[in-house]
Amino acid sequence: MCKLLAFSGSLRKQSFNQSIVECAAQGAKDVGAEVTIVSLNDYIAPLFNEDDEAVSGIPKGAKAFKQLLMEHDGFLIASPEYNSSFSAAFKNAIDWASRMEQGEKPLQAFRNKTATLMACSPGALGGMRVLVPTRMLLGNLGIHVHPSQQAIGKVSSLINEKGQVIDEKTIEKLHVLGAQSVAYTKALK
């Protein structure tokens, strides 16, 4: 069975990116994947600092997120675009998860895993500019990033007040992306 972890790089309540990653996760579930959907808010850690790590070790939230990464075969990731790049919360979670603990291999949470990327925004570009730096970061960690991705523009008109994607064309695109993620992950296992 294919196990995917789905999350967004946003900490905002009613995050549009969390909404789209949950929709893509349904597409992965529909083709038989086991998908765990989480919020980075549940794994908050202080900004990565080696001095703090030397004194206190890896914080509890960061350690729990890293464990989730290690337990899954691949990731569905939706990233908000902050000044043409990813959020500090996303980068901080990745930085903490990259720290090697006793008995682990380097970058164990990432190497030979897959990631499928998406982004959205209320603007017309849909967060498109964040996808390139996110792809580069994850590739440098040893993750196989799926060649297909989605940038969803004008997303505020495609999601209801409950945070659910309601536009049929957008649902279809995201479900296809989720299903492609499963096929890609299975092919690389």
CATH number of domain containing 62: 3.40.50.360
Q: How many domains does the chain have?
A: 1
189 band by pLDDT with thresholds 50, 70 and 90: confident
Q: pLDDT per residue over 40-94, tens digit each?
A: 999 999 999 999 999 999 999 999 999 999 999 999 999 999 999 999 999 999 9
For residue 136, with 0-12 CB atoms within 10 Å meaning exposed, 13-18 middle and 19 or more buried, which class applies?
A: exposed
Dihedral angle of Cα 17, 22, 27, 33, to the nearest 10 degrees: 120
In 3D space, the residue among 68, 73, 78 whose CA is nearest the CA of residue 182 turns out to be 73
Q: Measured between alpha carbons, how far is 146 from 121 in angstroms, rounded to an integer?
A: 21
Quote the domain boundaries for residue 69.
3-188
Whether the model clears a pTM of 0.95, i.e. scores above it, the answer is yes
Q: Measured between alpha carbons, how far is 127 from 96 in angstroms, rounded to an integer?
A: 25
The residue type at 50: E
